[in-house]
């Protein structure tokens, strides 16, 4: 995810671009840049770091200004001044800001280099200005060159291009978001609505394949069939609401992004087979996962999955406890899981492993973070920036990567792997079905919100799912929630049960099913309210519980993903009913950078 902006109008362009980009910071904040075409040349400024502190000097704008800007969330190439957008052609006559991934960039880049083009960055984006430069040689106009250039591109893109001597912006959209704000005598392109609301609330949501030619006070939209007309929509959100896409909280917005996150993360590693170089795990005897908090729970689910599919022993350690264990150096792979890549305890565990000569690998969401620099190998999740302190979509993305590792390292037949991959690919749609019925979960949250203790129980894969469900609940709703293996209840926690302690049970339709129903019967006998999460083909469970959250049926091994999304919503709605500060729970920080 990145944020892009393009402006043509009467205001001071660099200022518009900078202040609009600040509204897109949630889309990326590792580096920023902007370009202004002043008629003679392109002035470019770009830098590593967050845009939030950047200010430009105010001067009275004279005539029409043309500018573009970008705030980056690195995918190809680490965050650096050079990799920051905008990118230009060889002679710095054309500049481009881009959001998306050009999948065929390396072949295009080689081709362009062989034709004599000079590349400066490691980004996929840079092929775009060079392609436009190449096409411009035999085109009559700037827009013709852009239209020719995009025919070479594969992947996803929303980009805005300018040329040093033209009062014009050209924007193209394909599978990445781009909107056009239609102001009075000014036009502004952006990745999302918050960036434009300062200037206009009249918006065109561009379609895939749309090319917009924007000139002072007027615009044309064309696609492959010719000129098209798109409706202007009115946005009544405040700027603050718009940053959350109209959702009440970032957490709810991010939970609702789960389908796209699964798709993007799968897209990173899976075509019709798994595209992952297994050498990072070659010859290992065991995997030791080190992580904290929600990432630790992802690791626990990973343990069940990797052991089951790949037959490799997995230990999961709290990163903060890892240093107190005696790990015998050997053929272990230390696998760190950290969303931010900056979690102090996880970094320390990775460093300690390194000192002992162990191989390390990290699952990380933030490109360029410390974990990516100190690990031998890095696997990225594609969750995009996560603003809410409670991890949701990044957890789901971590699970996806762990499933991919397990499938890749497993001795399953090609056909068996294919079935798993097909089912993984169906998850975005299944998660969407849960989201579409979130109102039902809100109703159940109403039952839970009055209690001060909740017990989450599960067996097998259901156990770590219960742990994560309980963590979500306690961190944002401040209800004391505890995850427990269902079979361990009678070894102690039974004493806590009763009508004041509801139980949330994870039901998985695998070898644990019958015995879980038995456990629920025992719980029910203690008069606890029981809420189950199970799949929508499971009718029997209704006879045993007070309420059931039904998720779409999937392979039992993949069920933690769907159950976890349901638990995220359950925690969210419970916290909302209780009036909690959801995005920033008391005493907690997004990434814990101290031990």
Partner 1 sequence: MQAVILAAGEGTRMRPLTFTRPKVVLPIANRPILEHLFFSLKDAEINRVVLVVGYRDETIRDHFGEAWNGIEVEYANQRRQLGTADALKSASHLLEEEFLMMNGDAIVGAEDIRKIAERSGFALAVKEVPNPEEFGVVECEGRLVRNIVEKPEKPKSNLINAGIYRFSKEILEFVEKTPQSIRGEYEITTSIKMAIESGIEFEAVEIDEWIDIGFPWDLLKANSFFLSKIESRIDGEVEEGAHLIGDIIVGEGSVVKSGSYIEGPAVIGKNCKIGPNCYIRPSTSIGDGCHIGAAVEIKNSIIMNGTKIPHLSYLGDSIIGEKCNFGAGTKIANLRLDDKNIMVNVKNRVIDTRLRKFGAVVGDNVRTGINVTINVGTMIGDNVFIAPGAKVDGYVERNSKVF
Q: Which residues bind partner 1 (CB under 8 A)?
A: 10-11, 58, 60-61, 183-185, 197-201, 234, 236, 239
Residue with smaller CB distance to partner 1, 198 or 536:
198
Catalytic residue among 2, 135, 292, 361: 2
Greatest CA span in the chain, whole angstroms? Answer: 82
- Shortest Cβ 491–partner 1 spacing (Å): 51
Q: Report how far Cα 313 is from the mean position of its chain's Cα atoms.
A: 29
- Shortest Cβ 202–partner 1 spacing (Å): 8
Cβ neighbors of 191 (< 8 A, separation 6 or more) are 2, 3, 4, 5, 24, 27, 99, 158, 176, 177, 178, 179
Starting at the earlier edge strand, list the strands of the sheet with 332-338.
314-318, 286-291, 332-338, 359-364, 377-380
Starting at the earlier edge strand, list the strands of the sheet with 3-9.
42-48, 31-37, 65-72, 3-9, 187-190, 179-182, 202-205, 233-234
- Shortest Cβ 195–partner 1 spacing (Å): 12
- Shortest Cβ 183–partner 1 spacing (Å): 6
- Shortest Cβ 280–partner 1 spacing (Å): 50
Q: Cβ distance 441 to 569 under 8 Å?
A: yes
Handedness of CA 499, 504, 509, 513 (dihedral sign): negative
- Shortest Cβ 187–partner 1 spacing (Å): 12
Q: What is the CA radius of gyration of the chain?
A: 26
- Shortest Cβ 387–partner 1 spacing (Å): 22
Residue with smaller CB distance to partner 1, 95 or 242:
242
Cβ neighbors of 440 (< 8 A, separation 6 or more) are 549
Active site annotation includes 137: no
Residue with smaller CB distance to partner 1, 58 or 514:
58
Residue with smaller CB distance to partner 1, 202 or 578:
202
DSSP H or E run through 32: strand 31-37
Read off the DSSP letter of residue 206. Answer: P
Q: Cβ distance 289 to 335 under 8 Å?
A: yes
Read off the DSSP letter of residue 312. Answer: -
Active site annotation includes 590: yes
Residue with smaller CB distance to partner 1, 7 or 304:
7
Cβ neighbors of 8 (< 8 A, separation 6 or more) are 64, 65, 66, 67, 167, 168, 169, 186, 187, 188, 214, 215, 216
Angle between helices 393-409 and 258-269 (to 10 degrees): 30
Give the residue numbers marked as catalytic. 2, 590
């Amino acid at each position: 995810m990145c944020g892009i902006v393009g402006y043509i109008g009467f205001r001071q362009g660099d200022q518009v671009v900078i202040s609009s980009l600040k509204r897109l910071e949630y889309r990326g904040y590792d580096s920023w840049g902007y370009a202004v075409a002043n008629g003679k040349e392109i002035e470019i400024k770009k830098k590593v770091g967050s845009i939030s502190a950047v200010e430009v000097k105010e001067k009275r704008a004279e005539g029409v200004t043309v500018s573009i800007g970008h705030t980056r969330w690195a995918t190809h190439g680490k965050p650096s001044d050079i990799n920051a957008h905008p990118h230009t052609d060889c002679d710095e006559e054309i500049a481009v800001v881009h959001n998306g991934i050009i999948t065929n960039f390396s072949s295009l880049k080689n081709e362009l280099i062989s034709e004599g083009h000079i590349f400066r960055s490691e980004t996929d984006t840079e092929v775009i200005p060079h392609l436009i430069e190449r096409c411009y040689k035999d085109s009559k106009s700037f827009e013709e060159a852009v239209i020719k250039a995009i025919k070479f591109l594969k992947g996803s893109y929303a980009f805005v291009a300018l040329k040093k001597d033209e009062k014009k912006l050209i924007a193209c959209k394909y599978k990445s978001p781009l909107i056009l704000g239609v102001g009075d005598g000014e036009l502004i392109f952006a990745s999302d609505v918050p960036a434009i609301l300062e200037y206009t609330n009249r918006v065109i949501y561009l379609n895939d394949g749309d090319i917009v030619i924007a000139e002072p006070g007027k615009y044309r939209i064309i696609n492959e069939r010719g000129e098209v007309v798109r409706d202007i929509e009115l946005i009544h959100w405040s700027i603050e609401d718009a940053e959350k896409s109209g959702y009440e909280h970032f957490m709810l917005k991010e939970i609702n992004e789960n389908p796209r996150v699964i798709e993007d993360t799968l897209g990173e590693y899976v075509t019709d087979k798994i595209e992952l170089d297994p050498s990072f795990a070659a010859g290992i005897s065991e995997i030791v996962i080190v992580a904290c908090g929600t990432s630790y729970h992802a690791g626990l689910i990973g343990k069940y999955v990797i052991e089951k599919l790949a037959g490799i022993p997995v230990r999961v350690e709290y990163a903060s406890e890892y240093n107190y264990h005696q790990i015998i150096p050997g053929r272990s792979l230390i696998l760190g899981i950290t969303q931010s890549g900056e979690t102090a305890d996880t970094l320390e565990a990775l460093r300690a492993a390194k000192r002992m000569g162990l191989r390390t690998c990290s699952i990380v969401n933030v490109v360029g973070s410390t974990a990516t620099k100190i690990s031998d190998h890095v696997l990225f999740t594609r969750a995009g920036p996560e603003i809410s302190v409670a991890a949701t979509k990044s957890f789901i993305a971590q699970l996806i990567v762990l499933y991919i590792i397990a499938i890749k390292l497993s001795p399953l037949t090609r056909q068996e792997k294919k079935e798993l991959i097909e089912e993984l690919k169906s998850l975005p749609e299944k998660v969407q079905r849960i989201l579409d019925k979130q109102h039902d979960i809100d109703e159940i949250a109403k039952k839970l919100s009055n209690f001060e203790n909740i017990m989450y129980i599960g067996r097998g894969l259901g156990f770590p799912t219960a742990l994560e469900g309980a963590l979500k609940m306690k961190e944002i709703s401040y209800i004391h929630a505890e995850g427990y293996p269902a079979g361990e209840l009678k070894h102690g926690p039974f004493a806590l049960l009763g009508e004041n302690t509801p139980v949330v049970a994870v039901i998985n339709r695998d070898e644990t099913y019958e015995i879980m129903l038995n456990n629920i019967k025992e719980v029910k006998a203690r008069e606890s309210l029981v809420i189950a999460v199970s799949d929508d083909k499971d009718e029997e469970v209704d006879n045993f519980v007070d309420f059931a959250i039904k998720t779409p049926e999937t392979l039992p091994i993949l069920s933690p993903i769907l159950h976890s999304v349901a638990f995220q919503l359950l925690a969210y709605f419970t916290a909302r009913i209780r009036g909690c500060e959801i995005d920033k729970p008391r005493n907690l920080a997004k990434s814990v950078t101290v031990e």
